[in-house]
Amino acid sequence: MEKRYLSLRYMLSYLMVAFLVFISSATYSFAETIDTSSNELLVKYAELPQSIAAPIPLPNTAEQVETVTSSVELLSFPNEMDLMQAAEQLEENPFIVAVEPNHERSVSVTNDVFYTNQWWLPHVHAEQLWPLAAKQKKQAVVAVIDSGIDTTHEDLVGRIAPGGFNFIDQTQNIQDVNGHGTSVAGIIAANSNNRKGIAGVTGSYGVSILPLKTVHDDGKSTVADNLRAIDYAIQKGVDVINISQGGTSPSAIEQDAIRRAMRAGIPIIASAGNDALKGNPTMYPAAYDEVISVGSVNQRNSRSDFSNYNNQVDIVAPGEQIYTTGISNHYVIANGTSFSAPIVAGTVAMMKAIVPELSVKEITEVLTKTAKDLGQAGKDAEYGFGLLNSKQVKAELEQLLIQKQTVPVTGISLNQTMIRLLAGEDGDAGEQTALTATITPSNATDRNVVWTSSRPTVASVSQSGMVTAVSKGEAIITAETVDGMYKATAKVIVDAPKPFVGTFADLTVNTSKQFVVKFNKPLAEGMNYKKHIQISKRADGQQPITTFNVTFNPAVPDQLIIAPQSRWELGTYYLNIRQGVQAKDGKLLTENVNMRFIVR
C-alpha cells in the first residue's frame, strides 16, 4: 500500500528567479556508494515557507513514500534501474537538498577468526537479528537429533545444554564420532566474539544445543531412535527441534510424534534431502505437513543441484560451502540441506528467545511471509516460499513484541472479605455466594486467577469463584494470580442448617407417589392452585422443581392431588403450601403447610 505524506512536498509552485539563487542544488554522490541490498532513497527537502505550497512531483516509479523527519522522506523503488533514474531526476530539483541511498548500518560484526568464510550469515541477513538479543526473554534450547556433539570443541564450550542423551547405547555418552551433529550444532550456536573459529547463526543470544544422539558412526539412524528422541525433547521442554536426516519411507508413527511436538509448541525443522540428482525422492520427516522443510541454495540464490524439490519444501537457506565446526576441535566445509536446516532452526531459536509465546503456526507464517521470493512467483517446488530473510524476520518480531507486550499484574482484591452461609441438610449443597477477583491493572496481560479453599470440607470454591457451604466451620478462600505473586482472601463462616419442622411427619415414598392434601373446607373452583404450592430440593426453597401437576376435583372439593408429571427423582424434597389458598366461602389459608418427603 502506498503511503504518501504530501506535506513535505508542498513547496512554492512559482518563485522569483532571485529566490532560486539561494536554494542549493541537491548533493548527489551515488554511483560509487549505492547499497544494492536496498532499493530505497533518502530525499532531503529545502526548508521553505509554508504559506504558499504545491506538491513537488516525484518519480512515478516510487512504490512507497514515508516521512522520516520533518524535511526527509524515504522513497522505495521496485528495482535498481528505477532507483538510479529517479535519483538523477530528483537531483535536478532545486527544492531538494540531498538525495542519498538508504545505506544499511549494522552492529560491528564478530571477531571470530573464520567469520569471513561464513558467506551465508550476511546472505540471509542473520546479523540483523543480533541486536535484538538485548530483548531476549528466555534462554532457548535447540534439540539436535543427530550424531552427537564434540563436547570439548573450543567453539561449543558453554553452548551445550545439560541432559543430552545417546539413544543408540541408552547412555549419556553424546560424543560425536561421525562429525555431522557437531557441524549442525556449530551452525546454530557456535560461540561468537570469542576470537576463535566461527559464529553461530544465533550470535550472542543465549541459545544452547541439547544433543540427542540417534545417528550411528556410519551415518544411519532409525525411526525408533528418532521417536524416542522427539518424545525426550518434548519432556525436556526444548524450544526447537532440528532433524538434519531423513528417508524415503513415511511413518504414521513418526508423524504422530511430530504432532505431539507441535501440540507442545515445539517447531521441527528438517532438511529436504540431497538426492535431487538421484531420482529426487520425497524425504521424511521433512515432507510431513507439520515440519518446516528446508532446501538448499548457493551464493547465486540458485537451488543447489543436490537439493530435493517438491511441494513440501517451505523455505530455502544456504547449503553450499558452509564453514562450520568439526570433530576433534577442527573446522570443516560442509555441503547439503543438512546444513541449511540449522540456519533456519537457529533463526527460530532467536524468535522464541525474543517472543517465547510464539506458536508453531505463527513461526511458520513469519518465516514464509518474510522469505525472499525466488524462482516462480509465490511458493514453488524448488524454493518453497523463498530464501530465509532475517532482516524481514526482525521487522516482524519487532511488531510482535509490541502486540504481545506483557503488562504485569500489580495486585488483586475481592468483592467480599467476610461471608456467612448455611450448610445444606442431608447431604444437600448449602448456600452459595459468588466471589469476584479484581486484577490490577485492568489491562494486565494474564488476568487469570487460581481459587483454593483452606478447608474444602467446610466451604468449597470453584475456579469461577463460586463458594458453596458444605458443613459447619470456618474456611479461608484464596484467590491467587497465576504467577503466585499476589493473593487475596475471604473468611467464610458456615453455620449448621436450621432444622426443618414440618406440619406433618416426614414421608418416605416411591417415585410415582401422588399426594392427596385434604382441607377442612371445600375449595373454590377455577383457581390456579399450583402457584401456591412449591416443591424444592432445599428447606429454604432453593432449587425448586416444577415437574409436577396440581389437580382439583369438583366432585371432592376439599382435596388437591399433587402428582409428578412422570416420576419423582430419587432424593429429598420439601413441599410447601403457602398462605393464600382460597376456600369456596372466600376465606384464605392462614398458615403455611410444610412437609418433607424422601423418594427412594
Do 221 and 292 fall into the same domain?
yes
Specify if 51 maps to a domain.
Answer: yes
Taking the CA atoms of residue 305, residue 307, residue 313 and residue 319 in that order, the dihedral angle to the nearest 10 degrees is: -110
Q: Are 399 and 355 in contact (CB under 8 A)?
A: no
Specify if 280 maps to a domain.
Answer: yes
Contacts (Cβ under 8 Å, ≥6 apart) of 166 = 148, 172, 173, 174, 213
Beta bridge partners of 597: 507, 573
Do 284 and 250 fall into the same domain?
yes
**Amino acid letter, residue 47:** E
Beta strands in 167-280 (DSSP E): 207-213, 240-243, 268-271
Do 213 and 147 fall into the same domain?
yes
The domain tally of the chain equals 4
- In this predicted structure, what is the pLDDT of residue 499? 64
Specify if 277 maps to a domain.
Answer: yes
- In this predicted structure, what is the pLDDT of residue 1? 36
Residue 366, H or E segment:
helix 360-370
Taking the CA atoms of residue 157, residue 158, residue 163 and residue 168 in that order, the dihedral angle to the nearest 10 degrees is: -20
- In this predicted structure, what is the pLDDT of residue 105? 55
The owner of cell 401456591 is 532
The 10s digit of each residue's pLDDT in 506-548 is 888 899 999 888 887 788 888 888 998 999 988 888 889 999 9
Do 452 and 520 fall into the same domain?
no
pTM more than 0.85 = no
- The residue from 457, 473, 495 where one domain ends is 495
Specify if 434 maps to a domain.
Answer: yes
CATH number of residue 547's parent domain = 2.60.40.1220
- In this predicted structure, what is the pLDDT of residue 21? 27
Specify if 107 maps to a domain.
Answer: no
User: How many residues appear in the chain?
Assistant: 600
Beta strands in 367-486 (DSSP E): 411-414, 418-422, 432-434, 437-440, 449-453, 459-461, 466-469, 473-481
Do 477 and 539 fall into the same domain?
no
Do 457 and 322 fall into the same domain?
no
Do 521 and 557 fall into the same domain?
yes
Do 149 and 177 fall into the same domain?
yes
Q: Nearest Cα to 184, choosing from 205, 212, 221?
A: 212
Residue 191, H or E segment:
none
Do 387 and 443 fall into the same domain?
no
Specify if 391 maps to a domain.
Answer: yes
- In this predicted structure, what is the pLDDT of residue 383? 97
- In this predicted structure, what is the pLDDT of residue 342? 98
CATH number of residue 145's parent domain = 3.40.50.200
Catalytic site positions: 146, 180, 338
3-state SS assignment for residue 496: coil
- The residue from 365, 383, 402 where one domain ends is 402
Question: How crowded is the C-beta side of 110, counted as CA atoms within 13 Å?
Answer: 29
d(Cα 515, Cα 561) in Å, to the nearest integer?
6
Do 40 and 138 fall into the same domain?
no
Beta strands in 330-429 (DSSP E): 331-334, 411-414, 418-422
Q: Nearest Cα to 476, choosing from 517, 543, 520, 417?
A: 417
Q: Which residues of the chain have pLDDT under 50?
A: 1-37, 49-53, 106-108
Do 348 and 450 fall into the same domain?
no
CATH number of residue 75's parent domain = 3.30.70
Do 202 and 343 fall into the same domain?
yes
- The residue from 473, 495, 517 where one domain ends is 495
What's the domain range around 458? 411-495
DSSP string, 15-41: --HHHHTTSPPPB---TTT--TT--EE
Specify if 515 maps to a domain.
Answer: yes
The 10s digit of each residue's pLDDT in 407-417 is 889 999 999 99
Q: Are 467 and 434 in contact (CB under 8 A)?
A: yes
Antiparallel, parallel or unpaired: β 64-69 and 313-318: unpaired
* C-alpha cell, 553: 376435583
Cα–Cα distances in Å, from 340 out to 242, 319, 343, 383?
11, 5, 5, 12
Specify if 437 maps to a domain.
Answer: yes
d(Cα 40, Cα 587) in Å, to the nearest integer?
97
- In this predicted structure, what is the pLDDT of residue 12? 28
